[in-house]
Each structure stands twice: as C-alpha cells, then as structure tokens.
Amino acid sequence: MKKKRRLVFRSILLAIIAIAVGYTFYNNVFQDRNGSVQKGNKAPDFELTDLQGNKVRLSDYKGKGVFLNFWGTWCKPCQREMPYMQKEYKKYQKQGVEILAVNVGESNVSVKNFADRFHLSFPIPLDGSREVTKAYGIGPIPTTFLVDKNGNIIEKTSESLTNQTIKTYMEKIKP
C-alpha cells in the first residue's frame, strides 16, 4: 500500500514538473514578442527623465533625426562607442541630428559618473523601471535605433559601433 501511494505521489510530482518545464519552454520559444520594434515601424513615443531632471519625450524631437541608443555603464561595447557618439554629436547636432542615450536600469549616480568621465553632452534619459526598454523589445545592449524626422525607424542594430559607422548612421538620419 505504501509503495503504491509513493508511486502515485511521484508520478503526480513528475507530471507537475513536466508541465512546468513545457510551459516555460513554450513561453520562451513561441511567445509573441509584441514589444519588439523593428525597422519600418513608427518609433513608440516615451517620456523619461534625464540626468538634469528634465523630461525627455521622443515626440519632442519630431523634425529631427534621432540616434536612439540603449546602453549600460557596465557594458564594454557601450564604453567604447560613447566617445565616438560624443564626437559625432558635436558635428551633427547643428545639422538636425540628436542623440538620446537611454540608460537601462541604473542609478542616477553611476550614470552621472560615467557621463562625466566621458564628457558626454547629449541627453541621457534614465529608464530605471525598464518600461521603455521593454516597449522597444531590447535584448542585448548596446542597441541603437535610427529614427528619421517623421518618427519612423529606418535602422536597428545591436552591434558595437565604430566611429565610421556612427558617422554613416548620422548621415542617414540627417533631415
């Protein structure tokens, strides 16, 4: 009698584990990633606060090209491309191109220290809750979107960018 009860208990437990594993697998493989924004989509508007406490809305930049970059201070490729972004920002800002470097989930202090170390002058909105990051379907960082003057995404990349690539992208979104 004890053996039979133990066998039933083990079978039920194994079935529950199998269902849980199956459910997890299904959600990770077949889940519709409706938050994933791609080339050709309208860029979802958002409002975040930057390092200076100002509200930053993507829609406020309509009529300009926007280099929308999602990054983190700990990210080595991000550390490499930020000086290039700053260099090109100085040139292209006068030509109607803006950079919005959205920091993903870090504290104001660590982001400010990073910005000071690299002498960054472009807006750095803080996505502490990661709501914008989720809305854009960001996986690996850095991820960059090129948004044209009409608010359409004309390019998306998750590659580490060189100075020349950033320059080429700035040319693409120049109004």
How many structural domains does the chain have?
2
Domain contains 37: no
* Same domain, yes or no: 101 and 15: no
Specify the DSSP class assigned to residue 94. Answer: G
Q: What percent of the chain has pLDDT over 90?
A: 75
What pLDDT band is residue 8 in, cutting at 50, 70 and 90? confident
Domain contains 39: no
Q: Global pTM?
A: 0.79
* Same domain, yes or no: 151 and 117: yes
* Same domain, yes or no: 14 and 78: no
Which CATH number covers residue 138? 3.40.30.10
* Same domain, yes or no: 156 and 106: yes
Separation of alpha carbons 143 and 133, rounded Å:
10
Partners of 48 in beta bridges:
56
- More confident call, 84 vs 28: 84
In this prediction, residues 93-113 reach a mean pLDDT of 95
Q: What is the bridge-based pairing of β-strands 97-104 and 65-71?
A: parallel
* Same domain, yes or no: 100 and 147: yes
* Same domain, yes or no: 138 and 71: yes
Q: Is the separation of the CB atoms in 37 and 157 below 8 Å?
A: no
* Same domain, yes or no: 2 and 75: no
Separation of alpha carbons 131 and 108, rounded Å:
17
* Same domain, yes or no: 12 and 79: no
Q: What percent of the chain has pLDDT over 70?
A: 91
Domain contains 123: yes
What pLDDT band is residue 31 in, cutting at 50, 70 and 90? very low
Structure confidence by residue, pLDDT tens digits, 52-78: 999 999 999 999 999 999 999 999 999
Alpha helices in the chain (DSSP H): 2-30, 76-92, 108-117, 131-135, 163-173
- Within 8 A by CB and 6+ apart from 39, the residues are 153, 154, 155, 156
Both tokens assigned to 70: 């999602």
Domain contains 69: yes
Residue 5 belongs to domain spanning: 1-30
In one letter, which amino acid is 168?
Answer: T
* Same domain, yes or no: 71 and 16: no
- More confident call, 24 vs 10: 10
Task: With a cut of 70, say whether residue 155 has pLDDT above it.
Answer: yes
10-14, 46-50, 66-70: range with lowest mean pLDDT: 10-14
* Same domain, yes or no: 91 and 5: no
